[in-house]
Amino acid sequence: MSRSVRLVPALAAVLALTGTACDGGVRGTPGGPGVHDPYFPRAGNGGYDVTHYALTLDYTPAGRRLTGRAVITARATQDLTAFDLDLDGLDVGSVTVEGRDARWNRAGQELTVRPHDDLRDGETFTTTVRYSGTPRTLTDPDGSEEGWLPTADGALGLGEPVGSMAWFPGNHHPSDKATYDITVTVPDGLQAVSNGELTGRSSKGGRTAYTWHTAQPMASYVATVAVGRYDIGRGTGPHGLPLLTAVDPEQAKASEDVLARIPEILDWEESNFGPYPFSSAGAVVDRPGDVRYALETQTRPVFPGAPDTGTLVHELAHQWYGDSVTPRSWRDMWLNEGFATYAEWLYQEDHGGRSAQQTFTDLYDGDDDAIWDFPPARPSGAAHISGSPVYERGAMVLQKIRQKTGDDTFHDIIQGWAAAHRHGTADTAQFTAYVERKAPDKDFGGIWRDWLYGDGRPGRP
């Protein structure tokens, strides 16, 4: 009899609580079903660290059916009798660990896996999950849609904050980054675009498979798959960096001029933020009705129609701040959005627009009280991690640091921060400590107290 039979929930719960091994010994404990994120406590999982995802997907837009196989390579961070994967919806067909059938059960977004043999702390292991069904479009606490979004001619996978669990099982929290290989098979006439570089394309029986490789670590929330009819553009950026854009034909003319600025914008951002952190760049432009927001998907940001220059600057800046240096928890979102918003301010300053200080002053004197609703480093709930204080007031924190340190030290700080945590994760406490080390003769206490963590509008700057 196959050992892949699904555990009845009651038995699974008993085994998970007792930690009983298959041979009757007790050698470990189950991994946690979440990492206790302050806003998404069920997101992610404890007990292991993923190093690589190999995803093989087959999607037919006409029936909205997805068939997938996820091969997940991970390292145990404790002795494990069981572990969880995040997966919302979809039907699981089988699970194996190290090639042996594993028992599993479902409870909400948790897929609990019990391997045939316990896993030792430090052991590297491979889990294979086969699954299928109609992937869901999820609704964020703020009302926006993520997950798997059907489009006019295909679909779009978007993951911030937890939407990627709608189309593949994994450890879906930004604190666990991994490399990726994603193969997507679609009907002939459609393209499948993802992160990183296209490493293979083959056709058979009226379907075409596209294989994409992401060599640098990536958080699952910035993984993407775009299926549809696209005009594919190729070019080069700074230092011969490969560029690939995928544009819905309806958006091609409107996008042409702004996307042609990607090399120049990346060159400017390198001069301000340091070397570009990935091995390729580009963009995906879909129709405005198919997606309603831009997202910094790694190497290839997604846009709802042709972006303006400021939005392009913002999402490309995220390749440094958010994609390479990833927030350790969703409380640290201002380290993404404050930095990317400030990149827009700097770009305006360097290209004949308002100075960053003028933008700061206009916001401070303006009548948009939403900026002061909560501190950027302490959003008031999951629905507000993309609120105005995280963006605009987060950028104002950076301008306050610049006022305090002067331009030279400030640019050392923002470049050094990107370099120090390149391809890693970081939190707000690490950032404030880093700033204080870079400018030990300055007192930043008032900035942290009033601008980063304080409630309401600070006193006149």
Rg (CA), the chain: 23
Give the mean pLDDT of 437-444: 98
Measure CA 424 to chain center.
12
Nearest to 81 by CA among 125, 124, 116: 116
| pLDDT beyond 90 at 35 | yes
**pLDDT at residue 24 in the model:** 43
- Provide the sign of the torsion angle of the four alpha carbons 373, 379, 383, 388, taken in this order: positive
**pLDDT at residue 356 in the model:** 98
Nearest to 53 by CA among 143, 182, 191, 243: 182
Q: Among the listed ranges 1-10, 211-220, 236-245, 347-356, which one has the minimum average pLDDT value? A: 1-10
Whether the Cβ atoms of residue 319 and residue 336 lie closer than 8 Å to each other: no
Average pLDDT, the chain: 94
pLDDT digits (tens, 9 = 90+) for 218-272: 999 999 999 999 999 999 999 999 999 999 999 999 999 999 999 999 999 999 9
pLDDT digits (tens, 9 = 90+) for 78-120: 999 999 999 999 999 999 999 999 999 999 999 999 999 999 9
**pLDDT at residue 460 in the model:** 76
